[in-house]
Amino acid sequence: MMEWEAVIGLEIHAQLATRSKIFSGASTAYGAEPNTQACAIDLGLPGVLPVLNEGAVRMAVKFGLAIGAEVARRSVFARKNYFYPDLPKGYQISQYELPVVRGGRVTIQLDDGGEKEIGVTRAHLEEDAGKSLHEDFHGMTGIDLNRAGTPLLEIVSEPDLRSPQEAVAYAKKIHTLVRYLEICDGNMQEGSFRVDANVSVRPAGSHAFGTRTEIKNLNSFRFLERALAHEIERQIEVLEAGGAVVQETRLYDPDRNETRPMRTKEEANDYRYFPDPDLLPLVLEESYIEAVRAELPELPDARRARFVADYGLPAYDAGVLTASRELADYYEAVVAAVGGEPKLCANWVMVELGGALNRAGVEITASPVGPEALAGLLRRILDGTISGRAAKEVFEAMWAGEGDADAIIEARGLRQISDAGAIEKLIDEVLAAHPQQLAQYRAGKDKLFGFFVGQVMKASGGKANPKQVNELLRRKLDAGG
C-alpha cells in the first residue's frame, strides 16, 4: 500500500475591526437591518469614489510586523472584475500584484511537542462583498449590502501544512495573533474569520505537487479539521482507484461531513485585474511603519516563553494560558492579586474557571468571576481557611453570583477547623470510640492510620484541616505508643 502525504495551504479572510468600511464612512457593525449600513459608495451609485480607511492599513501593517514580514513601502489596489448581484460595482477592490504584506512566518506547536515554521506568502487588503439571501424571498434572491466594503485582510499561507492537525494549529495561531493585535474579533460564526483550504495529496517522499482542490465554507476549526480529513481521504481513494483529482472548488457540508463540488459552472474565471485608477498607490513611510511597530503588544510566542521562564509553568500550561490575550491578561491579574503561587493560579484558571466557562459557553471577558474575586478565593486556600475541596464549592457559589469568597465561606460555614485544641479533642473522641482499631494499630497495623484520619475528618464534618489532622494524629498515636 502506498503512503500518501497531504499538502495544505490556507487562505484566511480576517475581517478587520475598523469602525467604518475600508473605502467609505459607513458602519461595519454586525447584525443591523439589511441595507441600513450601506452608503452611496457601498451601493456603487454612479459617480461615487473610494477613499482608503487608514485604520485598515494600520491593522494590516501590525499583522505584517507581527509575523516578521516585509511591509511594502508601496502597494497597489486593483480591481477584480466579475458580475455578481452582491458585488455592487461589478468589481472588488483588492490588492493583487503588489500586496501590503509580503513573506512572513509563524511557528505552530505540534502534538508531539515539537514546533514547525509555516510560511505566510502574503497578506493583502480588500473589500468584502455583500450577502445574497436565498431564503424567504419566494424563489427570488435578496441582497444585503451591509457587509459590502467591510475591510478584509486575506492571509495566504505557503503550502507548508502536512495534516489537518497542522492546518488547525496554524489557523488557531493566526486566530490568536489577530486577536492579540486587536485587528479582528475572530468571530467565526459571524464570518469575521473565514478559512478556505487548498489541499492535494502526493506519494510520501515526492516533491511534486498533486492536483489541488479548494474547500470553502469552513466556519469552525472542527469543520476545518474534518473537511480536510475527508477531502484527503477522498483524493487518496480517487488516486488509488486510478482516477485523477479534478481541480475545483468544493463546499464542505458539515451535516453530512463531506465535500462536494460547488454548483458553479466550471469555467475559467478571468477577473481582468488592473490597478484601480480611483486610488493612488498606497505609499508607507518608514516612520509610519516604525510608529505602528511601537504600538505592537507582547505577542503570543513571547508571552508564552515568558510564562515558562517567569512563572515556571509547564510549556503546555503556558500555551493554553496565552492562547488568547484576554485569558493571559486574566491569568496575570490573578497572579498579581494573589502575589505569587503561579502554578496554583494556572490550575484554577485552566481547570475550574476554564471548565465553567466552557460549560456555560461564556467568553473569559464575560466571566462572572473576575480575576480579583478568584484571587480572593485562592488566598483562602493558601492561608488554610478552607480546604481545596471546599474551595470548589465556594467557586461554584461565586460563579452563581452568591458573593465573594469570604462571604460564601462564612455563609456556608466552610471555614476549616485549624484550631489544634479542637482537632485534638476530636482525635481523642475518635480514639476512644475505636479501642479495637487502636490496639491493632499499636500492634503494628500501620495502615489503620488512614482509617483514623477518615474518622476524624468525618467527625469534623469535613472541616478539619487535613494537614493538621495528620500531624496531630501522628503525634498522639506515636506518643501513646
Nearer to another protein, 43 or 229 (CB): 43
Amino acid identity, position 4: W
Q: Which stretch binds another protein (CB under 8 A): 79-87, 152-160, 432-440, 445-453?
A: 79-87
Q: Which stretch binds another protein (CB under 8 A): 62-70, 85-93, 220-228, 310-318?
A: 85-93
Q: Which stretch binds another protein (CB under 8 A): 49-57, 63-71, 340-348, 399-407?
A: 49-57
Number of other residues whose CB lies within 10 A of the CB of residue 98: 17
Least CB distance to another protein at residue 75 (A): 14
Nearer to another protein, 272 or 475 (CB): 272
Nearer to another protein, 25 or 312 (CB): 25
Instruction: Tell whether residue 98 is a contact of another protein (CB under 8 A).
Output: no
Amino acid identity, position 207: H
Q: Which stretch binds another protein (CB under 8 A): 152-160, 272-280, 323-331, 405-413?
A: 272-280
Least CB distance to another protein at residue 278 (A): 5
Amino acid identity, position 221: F
Least CB distance to another protein at residue 214 (A): 19
Taking the CA atoms of 144, 146, 149 and 155 in sequence, report the sign of the dihedral they define: negative
Query: Cβ distance 361 to 402 under 8 Å?
Result: no
Binding-residue pattern over the window 137 to 156 for another protein, x denoting contact by CB under 8 A = ----x-x-------------
Least CB distance to another protein at residue 216 (A): 20
Instruction: Tell whether residue 34 is a contact of another protein (CB under 8 A).
Output: no
> Rounded to a whole number, what is the largest CA-CA distance in the chain?
101
Instruction: Tell whether residue 411 is a contact of another protein (CB under 8 A).
Output: no
Binding-residue pattern over the window 214 to 253 for another protein, x denoting contact by CB under 8 A = ----------------------------------------
Query: How many CA atoms, within 13 angstroms, populate the side-chain half-sphere of residue 93?
Result: 28
Instruction: Tell whether residue 45 is a contact of another protein (CB under 8 A).
Output: yes
Binding-residue pattern over the window 157 to 176 for another protein, x denoting contact by CB under 8 A = --------------------
Least CB distance to another protein at residue 143 (A): 7
Nearer to another protein, 283 or 309 (CB): 283
Least CB distance to another protein at residue 262 (A): 16
Nearer to another protein, 282 or 397 (CB): 282
Query: Binder to another protein among 19, 54, 90, 402 (CB under 8 A)?
Result: 90
Query: Binder to another protein among 89, 212, 234, 303 (CB under 8 A)?
Result: 89
Instruction: Tell whether residue 133 is a contact of another protein (CB under 8 A).
Output: no
Query: Binder to another protein among 1, 49, 208, 294 (CB under 8 A)?
Result: 49
Question: Which cell is 350 given?
Answer: 485552566
Q: Which stretch binds another protein (CB under 8 A): 153-161, 226-234, 276-284, 345-353?
A: 276-284
Instruction: Tell whether residue 397 is a contact of another protein (CB under 8 A).
Output: no
Instruction: Tell whether residue 435 is a contact of another protein (CB under 8 A).
Output: no
3-class SS string, the chain? CCCEEEEEEEEEEEECCCCECCCCCCECCCCCCCCCCCCCCCCCCCCCCCCCCHHHHHHHHHHHHHCCCEECCEECEEEEECCCCCCCCCEEEEECCCCCEEEEEEEEECCCCCEEEEEEEEEEEEECCCEEECCCCCCCCEEECCCCCCEEEEEEECCCECCHHHHHHHHHHHHHHHHHCCCCCCCCCCCCEEEEEEEEEEECCCCCCCCCEEEEEECCHHHHHHHHHHHHHHHHHHHHCCCCCCCCEEEEECCCCEEEECCCCCCCCCCCCEECCCCCCEECCHHHHHHHHHHCCCCHHHHHHHHHHHHCCCHHHHHHHCCCHHHHHHHHHHHHHHCCCHHHHHHHHHHHHHHHHHHHCCCHHHCCCCHHHHHHHHHHHHCCCCCHHHHHHHHHHHHCCCCCHHHHHHHHCCCCECCHHHHHHHHHHHHHHCHHHHHHHHCCCCCHHHHHHHHHHHHCCCCECHHHHHHHHHHHHHHHC
Least CB distance to another protein at residue 124 (A): 18
Least CB distance to another protein at residue 233 (A): 34
Nearer to another protein, 277 or 401 (CB): 277
Query: Binder to another protein among 279, 289, 333, 350 (CB under 8 A)?
Result: 279
Instruction: Tell whether residue 21 is a contact of another protein (CB under 8 A).
Output: no
When computed from its CA atoms, the radius of gyration of the chain, rounded to whole angstroms, is 30
Cα separation of 133 and 146, whole Å? 12
Number of other residues whose CB lies within 10 A of the CB of residue 223: 18
Instruction: Tell whether residue 281 is a contact of another protein (CB under 8 A).
Output: no
Q: Report the alpha-carbon angle 11-15-16, nearest 5.
A: 120
Instruction: Tell whether residue 283 is a contact of another protein (CB under 8 A).
Output: no
Query: Binder to another protein among 91, 180, 399, 452 (CB under 8 A)?
Result: 91
Least CB distance to another protein at residue 287 (A): 20
Chain residues binding another protein by CB under 8 A are 40, 43-52, 79, 81, 83, 85, 88-91, 141, 143, 270, 272-274, 277-280
